[in-house]
């Protein structure tokens, strides 16, 4: 099968289109014929070892010290079940599915995933490309807003990076939870963020949110640009700063604010699971959550997709089509 391989850490130039052996599912696994995937910030960080401060060594331990243990990146997918292990009960051949792979591997024509993982039947009201654009941003923002941030109806939330992969779903999910949502993005993406349901939009190129006189119950920074000292005055008495991209200094602030401050810094790892992909599927199927695609690239142009992601100005998802 054709796959994009990453056999050393580095710039997007390390990516290669190769023919490699097709994987075979074990007894409780599914073989998925991939219709679409996406290059996420997670893929780009692992490829380039461009991880938050203090995490480079542990990243090497987990993912490969001198080169990636798994040469095929890709954490999200949509496609069709091509084969099942003999103990699989929930899915059958021919099922149209979407989800995430906690072991990478979806930048290829086929990927093997466990039946117990974050995988569900694809919503009927979206295409394969649209389905592949959903899991990374939606599952991450669901975890941050619902579980880490404990978002409540009526609260005011500011979402930085509202036009990115996490932000486009963060805006929609925050509205679903009943919050008053202010999105922050560049001039070019103001219309997109408004179309997702944001109650207000701040153009960060012209407006400093710390000087607008507003106070927010939650500030959700999806891109790692906002500090606690910078945002402290813009948080309510019991406000929470959610950091989707945190380094060691920020984790020390998580600890210190948990002990000594009513205003909290919150960070963590968004682990994807089957229960949450079912929640996302239902929201998409009912029209409460819609897919957003920034750009699409064929598998052979995955390098260009990584270059796009590395700019730090990616809109929504960079989808890879097979």
- Look at residue 3 and tell me whether its pLDDT is greater than 90: yes
- Look at residue 252 and tell me whether its pLDDT is greater than 90: yes
- Look at residue 52 and tell me whether its pLDDT is greater than 90: no
Q: How far apart are CA 261 and CA 118, in angstroms?
A: 36
77 within some domain: yes
pLDDT at residue 56, as a whole number = 87
Which domain covers residue 256, as residue numbers?
137-267
Q: pLDDT tier at 54 (50, 70, 90 boundaries)?
A: confident
239 within some domain: yes
Percent of the chain with pLDDT over 70: 100
Regarding whether 85 and 16 lie in a shared domain, the answer is yes
275 within some domain: no
Per-residue model confidence as pLDDT tens digits over 280-299: 999 999 999 999 999 999 99
Regarding whether 209 and 222 lie in a shared domain, the answer is yes
**CATH number (domain holding residue 207):** 3.40.50.720
Per-residue model confidence as pLDDT tens digits over 112-157: 999 999 999 999 999 999 999 999 999 999 999 999 999 999 999 9
- Look at residue 307 and tell me whether its pLDDT is greater than 90: yes
Q: pLDDT tier at 67 (50, 70, 90 boundaries)?
A: very high
**Token pair 């998925």 is at which residue?**
32
Regarding whether 254 and 304 lie in a shared domain, the answer is no
219 within some domain: yes
Q: pLDDT tier at 175 (50, 70, 90 boundaries)?
A: very high
**CATH number (domain holding residue 37):** 3.90.180.10
Please say whether the dihedral angle defined by the alpha carbons of residues 116, 278, 180 and 189, taken in this order, is positive or negative. positive
Regarding whether 46 and 106 lie in a shared domain, the answer is yes
Regarding whether 310 and 203 lie in a shared domain, the answer is no
pLDDT at residue 174, as a whole number = 98
Residue 317 burial (CB count, 10 A): 32
How many structural domains comprise the chain? 2
């Amino acid at each position: 099968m054709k796959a994009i391989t990453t056999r050393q850490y580095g710039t997007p130039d390390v990516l290669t289109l190769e023919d490699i052996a097709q994987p075979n599912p074990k007894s409780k696994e599914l073989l998925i014929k991939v219709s679409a995937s996406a290059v996420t910030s997670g893929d780009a960080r692992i490829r380039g070892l461009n991880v938050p401060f203090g995490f480079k060594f542990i990243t090497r331990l987990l993912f490969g010290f001198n080169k990636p243990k798994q040469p095929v990146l890709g954490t999200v997918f949509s496609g069709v079940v091509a084969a099942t292990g003999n103990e699989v009960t929930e899915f059958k051949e021919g099922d149209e599915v979407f989800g995430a792979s906690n072991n990478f591997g979806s930048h290829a024509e086929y990927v093997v995933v466990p039946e117990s993982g974050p995988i569900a039947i694809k919503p009927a009201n979206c295409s394969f490309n649209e389905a592949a654009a959903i899991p990374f941003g939606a599952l991450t923002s669901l975890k941050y807003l619902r579980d880490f941030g404990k978002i409540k109806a009526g609260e005011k939330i500011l979402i930085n990076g509202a036009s990115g992969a996490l932000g486009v779903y963060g805006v929609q999910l925050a509205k679903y939870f009943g919050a008053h949502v202010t999105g922050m993005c560049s001039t070019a993406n103001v219309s997109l963020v408004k179309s997702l349901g944001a109650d207000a939009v701040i153009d960060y190129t012209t407006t400093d949110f710390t000087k607008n006189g507003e106070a927010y119950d939650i500030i959700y920074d999806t891109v790692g640009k906002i500090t606690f000292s910078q945002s402290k005055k813009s948080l309510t008495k019991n406000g929470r700063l959610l950091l989707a991209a945190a380094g060691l200094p920020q984790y020390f602030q998580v600890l210190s604010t948990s002990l000594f401050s009513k205003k909290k810094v919150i960070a963590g790892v968004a682990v994807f699971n089957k229960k949450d992909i079912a929640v996302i599927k239902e929201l998409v199927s009912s029209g409460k959550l819609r897919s957003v695609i920034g750009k699409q690239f064929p598998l052979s142009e995955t390098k260009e997709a990584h270059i796009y992601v590395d700019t730090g100005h990616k809109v929504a998802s960079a989808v890879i089509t097979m």
